[in-house]
Amino acid sequence: MLNGRQHGGVSVTIATSLEDACAALAVEPCPLVLSGGTDLMVEVNRGSRRVGDIVVVNRVPELVGWRRKGDQLRLGAAVTFAEICGSELESLVPALAQAARTVGSPQIRNVATLGGNIATASPAGDSIPVLAALDAVLELRSAEATREVSLRDFITGVKQTCLLPGELIEAVRVPVLDGPQEFCKVGTRNAMVISVASLAILANRGSRRITVGLGSVSPAPLRASDAEDHISPHINWDGGAIPDEATIAHFARLVAGAANPIDDHRSSALYRTHAIRVLARRALSRVLGRLSAT
């Protein structure tokens, strides 16, 4: 451990090994896991969150960086969004890289991490729809045990997760798929925007499936399963013909039908549903265009 300090009854521990991090978390009351801090510090600065003991995990080697093993990627929880959108991951998981590039600003992408985005569990988390569409699996670890949970089981509601006291997210596993991917996001401007609605559409030639993840239109990660079932058999996976306009329009309606949005200060449920339908059509057209071109 590089640094273990106490002041005002609050300790800040900078963990430099996974073992140290887990040991530091295995106390009562459980300290907060801090990675980039871009979500937490907003609340702290505003005075809406009292700071307790903190374990800083973004120097833990096992949480930093990513590696490929066959057709699987293992992304450390402390991989930053800047690392995701400025690396080979752009070609391995294009939709995730696209989503990463829409996170906040360059300053925020330089520190904000994938694991933090997941643990914060905001419905507007930019990585969430992509990870849902990828059937991402999270590797969780505590001093006593390790376990794996799918992203969709991990986030149980608005800012609610099944992370237990003493646990941290160690890594995120996603597949490298054969097929084009697209992420789209609607907000008030291009930069520095919290999404009003977002969507990821991934094509998988291997399983001959289209998968669709939705963002900002439900409390927890959401897939448009009916729309996936509808469109997948209509695609000529060996290249060539793409579905007709009516089939694509029906797909977009089914995607919008899966959304379960609310009215809030950023938008209305009605607009979000409309936006999802437009995004679904647009993203599918782009994916199909590239499917038939390759």
Partner 1 sequence: MSADTYSLKVNGTDRQVTESLPGESLLRVLRERLGFHGSKNACEEGECGSCTVVVNGQTVCSCLVLAESVTGYEITTIEGVADDDGLSDVQQAFIDTGAVQCGFCTPGLVMSVGALLDSVPDPDELAVREAISGNLCRCTGYGRIIEAVSQTVDGRRDDGSRS
Footprint on residues 130-149 left by partner 1 (CB under 8 A): none
User: Nearest Cα to 188, choosing from 198, 178, 196, 180?
Assistant: 196
Classify 216 as helix, strand or coil.
Answer: coil
Q: Which is nearer to partner 1, 46 or 69 (CB)?
A: 46
Q: Mask of contacts with partner 1, 98-117, x by CB under 8 A?
A: ------xxxxx-xx------
Listed ranges 5-13, 146-154, 200-208, 236-244: which one lies at the site for partner 1 (CB under 8 A): 5-13
Contact between 3 and partner 1 by CB under 8 A: the answer reads: yes
Q: Name 237's Cβ contacts closer than 8 Å, sequence gap at least 6.
A: 205, 208, 291
Task: Select 44 or 158, whichever has its Cβ closest to partner 1.
Answer: 44
> Binder to partner 1 among 23, 41, 162, 176 (CB under 8 A)?
41
The answer to whether the CB of 84 falls within 8 A of the CB of 100 is yes
195 scored as a contact of partner 1 (CB under 8 A): no
Please give the helix or strand (H or E) that residue 172 lies within, else none.
Answer: strand 168-175
Asked if 56 interacts with partner 1 (CB under 8 A), we say yes
Binds partner 1 (CB under 8 A): choice among 21, 25, 30, 34: 34
Q: For residues 37 and 219, which CB has a smaller minimum distance to partner 1 in the complex?
A: 37
Q: Which of 28, 29, 45, 265 forms a contact with partner 1 (CB under 8 A)?
A: 45
Please compute Rg for the chain using Cα positions: 20
Residue from 21, 45, 44, 43 nearest 33 by CA:
21
Stretch that binds partner 1, among 49-57, 213-221, 245-253, 277-285 (CB under 8 A): 49-57
Give the range of 39-47, 87-95, 135-143, 163-171 binding partner 1 by CB under 8 A. Answer: 39-47
Alpha carbon separation from 61 to 17, 50, 170 (Å, rounded): 7, 29, 10
Are 252 and 280 within 8 A, CB to CB?
Answer: yes
Cβ atoms of residues 134 and 93 within 8 Å:
yes
Question: Binding to partner 1 by residue 188, rule CB under 8 A?
Answer: no
37 touches partner 1 (CB under 8 A): yes
